[in-house]
Structure formats: C-alpha cells, structure tokens
Amino acid sequence: MKNIKIYIEEGAENMTKDFVSLLKKFIPFVVKFIKIKTPFTLYLVHSDVPQIRTTAVYVNSDNEIWIRVKNRNMMADVFRSICHEMVHHKQNEMGILDQYSGEDTSSEEGQANRIAGIVIRKFGRKYPQIYK
C-alpha cells in the first residue's frame, strides 16, 4: 500500500538492516492479511515519548502507530506490537473504536491480540529469523 510512512528514531540500536528489510515485507503482509485500505504513519522510537505509556499505541485521531523498540531484542516481539496496532487501525477504518476500546477486556483488544498472534505465526513460518 502506498502512502504508509515509517519513521525510525535515530540511535535505536536494534533497528538493523535485517530488521528494516523484514519490516518492509511485514507491513504489506499485514496490510493484505487484514485488508487495510487507508494509510497510516508508523513511528519506531527508543526514547520516551508522551504518546506511549506501555510498549505501543494507536492514535486513531491521527492514524498513527507508535512502537517503543528500546530493550525489545526479538523482531517477533516488535512485529507483534506493530500488527496489534495495525488491527486497531483496521478497526478504526470500520468505525468500531470507541472510548472503551483500549480497555484490557474490550472485544477490540481481544481481537487485536488474537489476530496479531496469528499473523506472527504465519509470517514467522516464512521468515523464521524474526525469532532470533
């Protein structure tokens, strides 16, 4: 999909050439799997930013995905967070996000967790190096 912007904060030690190469395969894989239709912006950061209180967040008002990569050494861990937030982007496209969607027990969180797990297994079969 065109118009997806990816920003990687300078100095993120785990953002290797291999990571970036696989990321460029992963994003279209997820877009196709969950049928995303609208662009979004992905930020991979290692410093503390106000948008992220945990490891990742989707800002639906701006179609932004923020992922903290600091101290996360396995690609699969970071990719799973990216996919989880991409599911929220798809939910936003569908108009099903509301003020309670981010709650731990919400159906939207459950769906994002479930789909991210499936996607990581499928992608990992094709690219097992994400587990190293």
Integer Cα distance of 35 and 61 in angstroms: 20
What separation in angstroms does the CA of 75 have from each of 3, 29, 53, 59, 79? 24, 15, 20, 22, 6
Half-sphere exposure of 11 (CA within 13 A, CB side): 3
Half-sphere exposure of 16 (CA within 13 A, CB side): 11
Question: Could you list the pLDDT tens digit for every one of the 132 residues in the chain?
Answer: 578 999 999 877 778 899 999 999 999 999 999 999 999 999 999 888 877 888 999 999 999 999 999 888 799 999 999 999 999 999 999 999 888 787 788 999 999 999 999 999 999 999 999 998
DSSP 123: H
The amino acid sitting at 55 is T
DSSP 43: E
